[in-house]
Structure 1
Amino acid sequence: MTVGTDGRRAKGERRRRALVDATLRVIGRDGVAAVSHRNIAREAGVPAASIGYYFDSIDDLLVATLLDGVEALVADMDRMTREVTSNERWPAVVAESLAEMLDAKRERTIAEYELYLLAARRPALRPAARRWIEVASGYVNGGEGGDPDAIRAAFATIDGLLMQGLIADRPPTAAELTPALKYVLQPVDYLRGAGIIP
């Protein structure tokens, strides 16, 4: 492979990345209804026709944007896995991540949830929208998994905390998020500590 080919591939990846990032910004700022070839191209600083070169349709671009969120999740889960040295630390570490999503990364979180909800109306987006649960589930118990109902409850709680946090007057802190996460991630330890079970 020539250097020229490598250069074109790298430029293509940068252009594709710019389009996905622009899509996240447009959705986070103006909502998913604002996604169009013209708006995304303007946000990315590229010709509108170039979108069709990298993505077959707007839905294809939206799927790529959802999957980009999964890549971010993988990086975050890898980081958390390195940080957590005992199971008792998981609720606090997850709470810190959620607090960041609701504050410093708020616009991105809003965009990802708009896409997540759009998947209810657009079947083409559903596999990508469900992918985050599949990926996150792969980290449970060091990849060994666990009780499916407990895992579902944990991820439903995370979704709920994020949705509630997005509509709150101020983003909740990690300290405020930790108790609910402790309850679903470590129910037996939590109840024992509260004196409810021996």
Structure 2
Amino acid sequence: MTAGTDGRRAKGERRRRAILDATLRVVERDGIAGTSHRAIAREAGVPAASISYYFTGIDELLVATLLESVDLLVADIGRMRARTPADAGAWARTIAENLALLVDGRRARTIAEYELYLLAARRPALRPAARRWIEVAAGQVDRGLDVPPEVVTAFFAAVDGLLMQALIADEPPGAADFEPVLRFLLRPLGAEVG
């Protein structure tokens, strides 16, 4: 492989990355209804035809964007694990702080990710990516502890509910509001969850 080939590949990856980032920004700003090849190309600063070069259709682009969000989720969980002692109280505090950030500091992005996630109910092409989100998060909680699947399912259903309620609240809840609920939800998972 020549240096020119490597340079073209790197340029192509930068353009693909710009398109994915632009897609999430468009969904953040305009919602799924405002997401089109033209809007994304304008946001990314690329010709509209280049989107078709990297993605066969809007569904493939939305799937890639949702999978990108899964990667960010994994990175967030990794950072949370790295800074949190392995006890339920500390873990509840860390999750509460993260939820507060998601509904206040990263509100638009959280809404966009949920919109993509919920779009999977209408667009079957997105379902594998949405399920991947659930599988990755559940795997991070279980981590070989043999937590019963129904406990993990209940925990994530409750966290999703907390986030949805927080996103529609007039005033976004803070970490102190989330923490007592999380302490309760974490009980069945045991102190080793962190």
Counterpart CA distance in 2 for 1:64 and 1:189 is 35
Instruction: Tell me the SS of whatever aligns to 1:139.
Output: helix
Greater Cα shift, 46-55 or 134-143: 134-143
Match of 2:80 in 1: 80
TM-score of the two chains, using structure 1 as the length reference: 0.91
Query: Which fold has the larger relative contact order, with Cα–Cα distance below 8 Å and residues 6 or more apart in sequence?
Result: 2
Q: Structure 1: which amino acid aligns with 2:131?
A: R
How many residue pairs are counted as aligned between the two chains? 190
Superposed CA offset, 1:87-125 (max 9, x none): 221111111111111111111111111111111000010
Unaligned runs of 5+ in 1: 191-198
Q: For residues 137 and 188 of structure 1, do their structure 2 counterparts lie closer, same or farther at Cα, with a shift above 3 Å needed?
A: closer
TM-score of the two chains, using structure 2 as the length reference: 0.93
Could you tell me how far 1:143 is from its partner in structure 2? Answer: 3.8
Match of 2:2 in 1: 2
Is 2:28 the counterpart of 1:38?
Answer: no
Counterpart CA distance in 2 for 1:142 and 1:83 is 17
Superposed CA offset, 1:43-101 (max 9, x none): 11111000001001000000000000000011011111111212221111111111111
RMSD: 1.6
Unaligned runs of 5+ in 2: none
Counterpart CA distance in 2 for 1:91 and 1:50 is 44
Spell out the pairing of 1:118-157 with structure 2 (5 A cutoff). Answer: 118-157=119-158
Is 2:164 the counterpart of 1:163?
Answer: yes
Following TM superposition, the consecutive aligned residue runs of length 4 or more in structure 1 with deviations greater than 3 angstroms are 141-145, 187-190
Counterpart CA distance in 1 for 2:98 and 2:135 is 18
Counterpart CA distance in 1 for 2:132 and 2:87 is 24
Counterpart CA distance in 2 for 1:188 and 1:78 is 18
Greater Cα shift, 121-130 or 76-85: 76-85
